């Protein structure tokens, strides 16, 4: 059983786990590898985590929680809606680019179907979806699908599919809801994740997309 008093060295365990995953991948990493990376015995590592699976899950949660903190900070920033939306999407893209840029193995921590961390990935995306939907609702985009802003648009309640934004975009304002607009934005950032120079492209791509998604200000009436 993990000792609560030993939690002060947990960050070191997770750092060592990350280093090992970068070299060997999730499947090939062992507790011996993590212990060797830390310079301690394997039994010492068990004071902080229950095993390799626990270490991987804790690492995945730490990475996603940090990205979510950035997204939530962007969502409440004193800035125009477009800037807040960009900040939320940037938090997701930065997480992906950071992991994929370090090692091909760390991409496993982003796989929504991964045995150890898939639920963490899906919960992260679902929370981003809610944050985005809230931005569009607050900007005045009416939620005409009968559900509250951020409610799942898919029956399974999971994250939106990795679709082309052009295929997801609504052509009728009656179906352009905050949740659908959020799905379109997520589809955009997912599409950028594998694009060259993705970080530079995010800003212009988001600005162009939001031109069609955010409600236009109503001009003052002339009486």
Q: How do residues 48-76 score in pLDDT, each as one tens digit? A: 999 999 999 999 999 999 999 999 999 99
What residue segments make up the domains of the chain, in order of their start? Answer: 1-50, 60-213
Q: Closest Cα partner for 38 from 9, 59, 66?
A: 9
Q: Judge whether residue 207 has pLDDT over 60.
A: yes
* CATH class assigned to 1-50: mainly alpha
pTM: 0.81
Mean pLDDT of 99-122: 94
Q: Which long-range contacts (CB under 8 A, 24 or more apart) does 23-28 make?
A: 23/103, 23/105, 24/105, 25/105, 25/108, 26/56, 26/105, 26/108, 26/109, 26/114, 26/116
Q: Judge whether residue 143 has pLDDT over 80.
A: no
Please state, in angstroms and rounded to a whole number, the distance separating the CA atoms of residues 87 and 91.
Answer: 6
Q: Judge whether residue 212 has pLDDT over 60.
A: yes
Q: In the predicted model, what is the mean pLDDT of the chain?
A: 86
Q: Report pLDDT digits (tens) over 63-110.
A: 999 999 999 999 999 999 999 999 999 999 999 999 998 899 999 999
Please state, in angstroms and rounded to a whole number, the distance separating the CA atoms of residues 73 and 131.
Answer: 10
Fold of 60-213: Tetracycline Repressor; domain 2 (1.10.357)
């Amino acid at each position: 059983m993990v000792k609560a008093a030993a939690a002060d060295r947990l960050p070191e365990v997770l750092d060592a786990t990350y280093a090992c995953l970068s070299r060997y991948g999730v499947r090939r990493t062992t507790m011996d590898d993590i212990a060797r990376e830390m310079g301690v015995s394997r039994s010492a590592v068990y004071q902080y985590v229950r095993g390799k699976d626990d270490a991987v899950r804790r690492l995945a949660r730490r990475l996603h929680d940090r990205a979510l903190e950035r997204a939530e900070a962007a969502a409440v920033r004193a800035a125009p809606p477009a800037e807040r939306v960009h900040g939320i999407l940037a938090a997701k893209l930065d997480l992906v680019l950071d992991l994929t840029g370090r090692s091909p193995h760390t991409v496993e921590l982003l796989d929504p179907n991964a045995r150890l961390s898939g639920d963490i990935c899906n919960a992260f995306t679902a929370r981003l979806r809610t944050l985005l939907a809230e931005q569009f609702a607050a900007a005045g985009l009416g939620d005409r699908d009968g559900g509250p802003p951020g409610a799942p648009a898919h029956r399974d309640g999971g994250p939106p599919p990795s679709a082309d934004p052009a295929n997801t975009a609504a052509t009728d304002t009656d179906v352009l809801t905050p949740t659908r607009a959020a799905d379109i934005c997520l589809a955009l950032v997912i599409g950028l994740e594998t694009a060259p120079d993705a970080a530079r492209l995010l800003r212009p791509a988001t600005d162009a997309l939001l031109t069609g998604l955010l409600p236009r200000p109503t001009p003052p009436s002339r009486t």
